[in-house]
Homo-oligomer: A and B are copies of this chain.
Amino acid sequence: MKTQKLTKGNIPLSPQIFYVLLSLAIKQRHGYEIMKQVQSDSQGKIKLGPGTLYGAIKRMLEEKLIIEITSDKQRRRVYKLTDKGRAIFQSELQRYNEAVELARQKKLLISPLINKFTLVYG
């Protein structure tokens, strides 16, 4: 009973998987590096523990969103995005963008740059 789907048709992705793909979209990385990058890319909002990280990697390998490119038997195991992984990341990124645009259009997105002063005197 192989590990599965990453949600049907891979859309939508969980935020965790999204950030893993994002980190690998820039360059190939090993597990621990992914973990740190996700934390930094998400401004500390998402922290992957080992359980989440290696569980996610395992499923993503099975789904062929990533492949391992470790040369020989190194300590670090390096992963890179497959074309499929890149396509799915792109599709999910579009969803993020569309959601933000929709929210902006509905005046729901408050710019963090607008402070109380601006709200009162702007």
Contact B95 A45 (CB under 8 A): yes
Nearest-CB residue, chain B, relative to A46: B12
Quick one: which of B11, B19, B42, B100 contacts A93, CB cutoff 8 A?
Answer: B100
- Report if A94 contacts B (CB, 8 A): yes
Chain A residues touching B, majority SS: helix
Q: Decide if A32 is an interface residue (CB 8 Å cutoff).
A: no
A53-61, A65-73, A106-114 - the one binding chain B:
A106-114
Work out how many copies of this chain go into the complex. 2
- Taking A15-B12, A45-B12 as contacts, is the C-beta distance between A108 and B94 under 8 angstroms? no
Chain A 38-56 interface mask (CB, 8 Å, partner B; 1/0): 0001110110000000000
A11 to chain B: closest residue by CB? B45
Q: Considering the complex, give the chain B residue whose CB is closest to the CB of A12.
A: B15
Q: How far is the CA of A26 from the CA of B106 in the complex (A)?
A: 7
| A5→B18 CA distance, assembly (Å) | 21
Known contacts A14-B14, A22-B103; is A42 also within 8 Å of B109 by CB? Answer: no
B108 touches A42 (CB 8 A): no
Asked if B97 contacts A93 (CB within 8 A), the reply is no
B residues less than 8 Å from A25 (CB atoms): 103, 106, 108
